Each structure stands twice: as structure tokens, then as C-alpha cells.
Structure 1
Amino acid sequence: MDRRVFLSLLGITTSAPALHWPTPEPIPYPTRFGKSPRIRLSTVDELDRMNADLRRLDDGGGGDALLFTVRTQLRLVVQLLDHSRYTDATSQRLHSTAGELMRLAGWLAFDSGKHAHAERYWQAALRTAHTAGDRALAANTLGFMSCQAKDLGNPHQAVTLAESAHAEYPGASPRVSAILALRAAEAHATNGSALECRRAIEEAFTKLDSSITTAPDWSYWLTPGHAHGQAGFCYLQLGDHSNARRHFRHALLLQDPAAAREGTLRHTLLATTYVRQQEPDLDQALALAALAATTLIDDVTSTRCLGHLNTLVRELSPHHRRPAVRQFADQVHTATQRHRAFSAATSATRS
């Protein structure tokens, strides 16, 4: 289904280079006329409202539970593009809507550990964003691709993608600029470039302090609390555990209670700072880790969060004789088994 959607809608291969999205000549909107039903801008407005709800649903439970729903929504928009008639203005909006759904599907696939699917969705999102002339969507998609490259151990590619996104969208709103700066900061931190990382973090918080509030709806998620969480990750990567803890604690203090996945991630990474410091504080680490594991078992289905918790289990393995360490490892094992059962059940339902 994925490949048919991409090739029929976009006419591209999945190996199209991500960095070639900004070109001098815009691609004409493929306007459709004839006897097919007409799509009005009010219909696109309603589709965008539905997409906004889908983005916010992801904040709570994670990507595994929502990907099928987003793919269904994307199929609907593709059908409208293929079988309806519309004006140039509606065509532009419909392509932006489709591109944002592809971007969101890529994020959900990434959060679910489906990296090849995520890359294909994001390549398609870039092509669709270019068709729509939506540079903000294209820059945001490149930022997510940078995040994936970082997690897959390709720091140089992560930096290239993040800097391309940052450079190719100079007219961004302050919040979008902050998003792109934090993507660059994470890439530089993973690459070990401390100076560039700190500069990007400073730029992001400066942009967030701007009095200008106009921004695309998809950028709503970058709050000061989320920015502190990303800054904490950067300092953890750089081995600056004191600054990492300061930012993670700010992130948890400012966190939206509904954002269960981010709470799981912040508690896990905060616990990691206590394990990695020169003299590990296991009591602090295990108390925080237990909170993260409990939330993951009860409320969150995110392969990415589960991966961070399993990394923490491995880092605690030298202390496996402690009962609390074994108890935490058992919690993570329970979360892993629950996650596998959920994925199997979901796959069976979809088939």
C-alpha cells in the first residue's frame, strides 16, 4: 500500500536524495477539472483540523497505536487528489495536507522503530511539500530526517540534514526557527561538537522568547518544556550531566500531563545522567527509571522509549546484584513483552 501511494501520487523512487528539495523553478500544481466531484477549500480546512487532532493524539500514547489511522487518512487525501477536481489554490492546500500526513506517518513509523518506512514517508513528504511550495513543511521534514540519522548513528548526515533545513528556510516563524535550531543542536551534540551545539541551543531559546506567536499548527509541540527536554538530551550526549539534569528537571516541571510519552523519555534520560556520572547515584537513577517503566507499561506504546529504557538496563548491568536493579530490569522486560503482544495483535487486526 505504501509504495503504491508514493509512486502513484508522486512519481518518484524512494531513493530520491533528500537534500535536493529546494530547486529554483516551482513545480506546477496538478489541477484537475472534469465531471468528478469538486473539492472546496472548506473541505481542506476540515481535513487539516482532523490532522491537528491526530498530531495531538500522538503526544499521549506514542506512534505504534496511531500509524494505521494516519495511513487511512492519507489514503483518503490521495483519493481526493486522484479522483476529484479542484482549483490551483485548493490543489496547493491539498498537497500540503498530504505532505504533512506523510511527515506525520514518517514520525510515527520512526517512533515505532520502522526506520525504512519512516524514510520513505519523509522522502514522499519532501516531494509533496515542493509541489505545494510549502518550504516550512519541507524544512520540518528534513529536521525529522536529521533526528532519525542521529538515532541510527550517522552524526555527520544528521548535521548535514539539520543545517540544510535551517539554511533553506530563512523566513521561518520564531517557533519554527527554534525547532530547526534544536534539531541542529541534537545533531551537533551527537557529533561531539560542543560549541556548535551550545550556540544552537542558545539560538533556540532566544527564538522561543520572541513576542511573535504566529506559526504553523504543526509546530505547536515546541513549548519551553519540550525545548528544555531537547537541550537536556544534548548535554547528556556531551557528557555534561549537571546541565542535562537542570534541563530535564525544567522539562518535567513544565510538562503537559497528557504528554505521557515525553514524560517517560525525560524520566529515562534523567535517570541516565545519574548512572553515567563519575560516581553513579543508583538510588536516584532507579527511582526515576521505575517511574518511566511504569508509565510505559500503563500508558505508552513507543518503541523508541522502550529502546532508551533497554539501554538504561544495559548500563545498569554492572550493578545487577542489587535487588532494585533486577526489579527494574524485570519491569522493562514486562514492558517489552507487552509491547510485542500489542504489536502482534495490531498487525493481526490490520491483516
Structure 2
Amino acid sequence: MTNDADLRAAREAEGLSLARMARRTRFAKSYLSMVETGKRPVPTDVVAAYEQVLGFPLAADPGAPVRLAHEWLVSESPAALHLRSGRRIGRSLAAELESRVVELRHLDDVVSSADLLPAVSEELSTARELVREATYSDSTGKRLFTAVGELAQLAGWVAGDAGKLAEAQRFYLSGVDAANQARDRVLGAQLLSSLSYQIANTGNPRDAVLLARTAVMGAEGATPLVRALLLERLAWASAKSRDAEATWRALDEVDDAFAARGADEPEWVYWLNRAEIDVMAGRCLIQLGRPGEAEPLLSAAIETYPAEHAREVALYLSWLAESHARSGDLDAARETLARAQPFAEAMPSARTGDRLRAVRQACA
């Protein structure tokens, strides 16, 4: 199993500074520093990112993420301990809760929604009780409500992936309330944007467009990478609504925002990279009837994904299969679906299952 010392030793052996590794992996430098110094667990997605940059494998325990998710569920959170003690909440607990949110978020990359949702739900429930019952200063309260909002966003995302759409919507909307309490308009925009993405996929795309536009317009002070994420979801909702002009305009703005990204991006947008943006562009091209142009974007992006991110690999292969099917190459579509199946089985997801069934029907 890879530990923090292994990561640091491998990086330094290759002559890479921490700042350079952060730029090349798209993780925040501060987060990687905490991982390398043992202040945070070593997630498998960080190991995979280091392996991609370094060009050689690091030993990793594939069972560790799932075990960690279950250990999280059965262990007692610091928030619960503080509630029982009746003490006034200070900065140390806020920092601990923030760290737990980050760890759970990274577990979502490698743990199935069925395994992760109970842990996230329990953490969110305890955090909500904490902000209701405990006493704290205004500055600490802002951090606590922000953590609750981020947990609600993660819970909504995981619940949606598990096919629990009504529950996911409740999580998202409760998170907006927490973001308002924290006076964090950018976090509120992220929650509304996440809900718009769910609605675009499962509901009325026009409602999704309205929510996505609201998120973009309301995200005062958003960093470039956050703005790129919000615009991506606007592009997708527009594509689902068959509004080609709005889709291309939003995708152009995504590229501009991504090019302007800096080092001060929030941790929760760590996963948005060039490959993710190209996948979304490919999906929009398919949706708007241009599958041939989508295939090279999707193929190149899929090659960059580590096998540990099985859900994303399966999902993106489903879109590549659809691009083949809509271009009339059913044999290539079926071969791509066959490639996707082992990844889908490795990390079960209702969202992935729905996608694969839909594309199989198109290939029938």
C-alpha cells in the first residue's frame, strides 16, 4: 500500500517540486502537502495522478477505499463527540470537519455510490445537528455552514449516482440553504448547477437551462475553474434543449475560463481538467447530431483516465459507443460497450447502468 513517504520520495527522486506536481496533477498544492506529510490519508486518485506524471507504478491497495468508506460509517465523527461534550465549537473542529469533507469527496472517485452514500449521509446529518445545537463564533459558523453545504453537494451527487433522484434534489436544496447561511454565493451556485445537471439528464432540459444560467450569473467572485464548471453544465443543459447556439457559446466560454485558471481554485473543483472538458464537448456534439466530431475528443480523453476511476471510464466509454452508433458503425459501438462492461461492474452505478442500457438499445 502506498503511503505518504512513498509519494514524497518518488516525487523528489524525479526532481519535481511540490508546486510542479500540483500543476501537473491539478490537485491543490496545499492538499498534496497534507497528503505527503501524513496529515491526510493517501487517496488512490492521488496515487494514480502521481503514477501518470512519474511514468511508473506505485504500489496501491485497491481495497483500501471501500474499507475506508465502511470504517467511516461505523466510526464516530468529531462533530458527534463535540456535541456530547457541550463545548463551544472552535476553529480546530471546523478544520477537522473541512478535512473530512475533502477525504469523502476524493473517495467518491474510487468508491461506488452504494458504499459511499451511507457514510456521506451520516456525516451530513451529524454536521447539520452540530450547526443547530452547538455554539460558535461568526467566523467559525461560516466555516461550519460551508462544510455542511459542501457535504450536501456531495451527498446529492452520490445519491443521484445511486438513482435516488428525489433524495438527491433534497440534498442539493438543503445545501443551498447552508451556503446562504455561510454567505457563500459561489457554493450556492455550485449546488444549483449540480441540480441543473441532474434535471438536464432526467427532467425538463429547459428547467435545467434556467437553473444553470442562474448559477452562472449568481456566482459572484467565482474563480476561473469554477466558472468553467458552471458553464459546462449550462452547455450541457443547452445541448439537451437542442439550442446549438447557446451550447457553442457556453463551450467557448468554458475554454476561455479554463485557460485563465490559477492556483487559488477551491479544492472541490480539483477534478475538472482538460479531459473532462473534452468529454463534455464530445457529449454536446453527440446531442446536437455531430457524432463524428465527438469520437476523437472522447477517445483521447478516455486514454488519460486511470483504471481506478472505473465509473468515469465506463460512462465515457458509453458516450464513445454512442458516437460510433450514431455514425452508423454498430460493430465499433458494440466493441466499445464490451470494453465498458468490466469497468461498470467494478464500480456499480445506476447512472452508468442507465447509460449502457440506452446505448445497447441503440445498437440493437
Normalised to the residue count of structure 2, the TM-score between the two structures is 0.74
Identify unmatched segments of 5+ residues in structure 1. Answer: 1-34, 318-351
Deviation per CA, 1:175-200: give whole Å up to 9, x if none: 00000110000011000011110111
Deviations 1:256-302 (A, max 9, x none): 4432111111111101111112xx212211221111111111x1121
The amino acid of 1:43's aligned partner reads L
Q: Which moved more, 1:194-203 or 1:179-188?
A: 194-203
Question: What is the CA distance between 1:250 and its match in structure 2?
Answer: 2.7
Confirm or deny that 1:98 pairs with 2:148.
Answer: yes
Q: 2:335 maps to what in 1?
A: 287
* 3-state SS in 2 of match to 1:254: coil
1:257-296 superposed matches below 5 A: 257-277=307-327, 280-296=328-344
Of 74-83 and 173-182, deviating more is 74-83
Cross-structure match for 1:181: 231
> Cα deviations across residues 205-232 of structure 1 (Å, max 9, x unaligned)?
2211125231111111111111111111
Q: 1:211 to 1:288 in 2, by over 3 A?
A: same
Note the C-alpha offset of 1:64: 2.4
CA distance in structure 1 between the aligned counterparts of 2:241 and 2:252, rounded to whole angstroms: 18
Q: Which amino acid aligns with 2:355?
A: H
- For residue 68 of structure 1, the aligned residue among 107, 118, 124 is 118
Distance in 2, matches of 1:123 and 1:150, equals: 16
| Aligned partner (choices 41, 53, 57) of residue 91 of structure 2 | 41
**Which amino acid is the alignment partner of residue 36 of structure 1?**
G
Partner Cα separation in structure 2 for residue 150 and residue 75 of structure 1: 28
Q: Report the equivalent of 2:175.
A: 125
Tell me if the contact between 2:152 and 2:171 (Cα under 8 Å) persists in the aligned partners: yes
2:198 aligned with 1:151: no
Q: Amino acid of the residue matched to residue 88 of structure 2? A: R
2:359 matched to 1:309? no
Other-structure match for 1:169: 219
Distance 1:131 1:211, change over 3 A: closer
Provide the rounded CA distance (Å) in 1 between the counterparts of 2:187 and 2:357. 33
C-alpha distance in 1 between matches for 2:104 and 2:131: 20
**Residues 308-329 of structure 1: per-residue CA shift (max 9 Å, x gap):** 0010121122xxxxxxxxxxxx
In the alignment, residue 86 of structure 1 is paired with which amino acid?
Y
Q: 1 CA distance for matches of 2:358 and 2:329?
A: 17
> Equivalents in 2 of 1:61, 1:230: separation in Å?
23
Q: CA deviation at 1:87?
A: 0.6
The answer to whether the aligner puts 1:204 opposite 2:254 as a matched pair is yes
Q: Distance in 2 between matches of 1:261 and 1:78?
A: 29
Deviation at 1:143, TM superposition (A): 0.7
- Does the Cα contact within 8 Å between 1:64 and 1:303 map onto a contact in 2? no
CA distance in 2, matches of 1:75, 1:303: 24
Deviation per residue, 1:128-176 (Å, 9 max, x gap): 1101101111000111111111111311101000000001114210100
Mapping of residues 335-350 of structure 1, within 5 Å: none
Separation of aligned partners in 1, 2:203 and 2:363:
22
Scaled by the length of structure 1, what TM-score is found?
A: 0.77
Contact 1:255 1:263 (C-alpha < 8 Å) held by counterparts = yes
* Secondary structure, counterpart of 1:310 in structure 2: helix
Q: Indicate which of 256, 268, 290 corresponds to 1:218.
A: 268
Quick check: 2:156–2:168 contact (8 Å CA) kept in 1? yes
Q: What do you get for the CA RMSD once the two structures are aligned?
A: 1.4
Structure 1: how far apart are the matches of 2:348 and 2:158? Answer: 11
Structure 2: gaps spanning 5 or more residues: 1-84
Higher relative contact order (CA 8 A, sep 6+): 1
Deviation at 1:255, TM superposition (A): 2.2
1:98, 1:170 → 2: CA distance?
Answer: 20
Map of 2:301 onto structure 1: 251
Is contact 1:174-1:213 (8 Å) kept?
A: no
